[in-house]
Copies of this chain bind each other. A is one copy, B any other.
Amino acid sequence: MSSFGVRETEKPAVASVAPSSEFEGGARQPPRDAPFYLRSGNEAEIFEQCHKRNLAVALKGPTGCGKTRFVEHMAWHLGRPLITVSCHDDLSATDLLGRYLIRGNETVWQDGPLARAVRMGAICYLDEVMEARQDTIVVIHSLTDHRRILPIDKTGELVPAAPGFQLVISFNPGYQHAFKDLKPSTRQRFVALDFSFPPPEQEAEIVMHESGVDRATGMDLVNLGSRMRDLTDQGLAEVPSTRLLVATGRLIQGGIAPRQACYVGLISPLTDDPAIAAAMRDLVNVVLVD
């Protein structure tokens, strides 16, 4: 089973799209039904071994290819709560750890999402971690080596990670971040799983399942998406995700003419450049011949 884990030559892990799971962010218990996820390799087995052996995991891959779904699926599978944090430029260590709040005459401590996850043994998922500031990222260092401990300076606490706690991060290696990157000393703290778009048939199945279109339309959309993904050489900043194909399918299912659905659901979201838009419309006209 050597095909998994290197993006450009093997079949990548696939995060299929499931009925909306309410499984995220707070200390919620797993939902009754598993989030729909089609495993494509042994990414789940590796994740499970990492969880069992206290190894943190990094999910690498493009926008909208299913990383979030995968971690929801695994949290359900492992029976652990999932706490998700969307990272951004202004996310500080305080946001993760917690802060003192004044309530009436008292100052009360309120755990941040990372501290909550550490105490309850949840899976903590830092989505798009490259966007966060360095202090956010350094905070996780002592949680991702043999120490498994979260120091909270403001309370003077050293919180040991409860059994079952696991740190998961995601990032898109295709982005150009002039001034941002994960430091090597951070990267070495994670086992890394590569994600990519699913193979055509599987992607068509997802589009059909999520949007309700028939197989012919689903295949057309996947075919179109696949050809648009070759346009990056012509200046397309990011290729269309499975999520965009689903959105376009929903518009078609709602009665919007297929070509126009592609214009507003696939082309306009991806580019403001007239030349690229024209090339994409040509593709639409070629693929959607009806």
Q: State A83–B55 Cα separation when bound (angstroms).
A: 24
Q: What does the 1/0 interface line of A37-73 toward B look like (CB < 8 Å)? A: 0000010011001101101001010011000100000
Least CB distance from A168 to B in Å reads 13
Q: Which residues of B contact A268 (CB under 8 A)?
A: 5-6, 58, 60, 191-194
Q: Which residues of B contact A84 (CB under 8 A)?
A: 142, 151
Q: Smallest CB-CB separation from A212: which chain B residue?
A: B53
Q: What does the 1/0 interface line of A94-123 toward B look like (CB < 8 Å)? A: 010000111111110010110010000000
- Contact pick for A188, options B184, B260, B269, CB 8 Å: B269
A22 within 8 A of B: yes
Q: What does the 1/0 interface line of A124-167 toward B look like (CB < 8 Å)? A: 00011001011101110110011111010110111010000000
Least CB distance from A110 to B in Å reads 7
Copies in the complex: 6
B238 touches A185 (CB 8 A): yes
A2 within 8 A of B: yes
Q: Which residues of B contact A90 (CB under 8 A)?
A: 92-93, 133-135
A5 touches B86 (CB 8 A): no
A263 touches B91 (CB 8 A): no
Q: State A88–B162 Cα separation when bound (angstroms).
A: 25
A187 touches B269 (CB 8 A): yes
| Beyond A22-B149, A55-B250, 13 extra complex contacts between A and B, CB < 8 Å | A5-B264, A24-B142, A24-B147, A26-B156, A89-B135, A172-B185, A187-B269, A188-B269, A188-B270, A191-B247, A191-B264, A191-B268, A194-B264
Top 10 nearest A-B pairs (CB, nearest first) are A184-B238, A192-B268, A173-B272, A5-B263, A49-B254, A88-B138, A63-B185, A90-B135, A88-B135, A25-B151
A-B contact pairs, 30 of them (CB 8 A): A1-B260, A4-B263, A5-B260, A5-B263, A5-B264, A6-B267, A6-B277, A6-B281, A19-B146, A20-B147, A25-B142, A26-B156, A42-B256, A45-B256, A53-B250, A55-B250, A63-B185, A63-B188, A68-B145, A88-B134, A88-B135, A88-B137, A88-B139, A95-B153, A103-B106, A145-B243, A187-B238, A188-B238, A191-B251, A192-B264
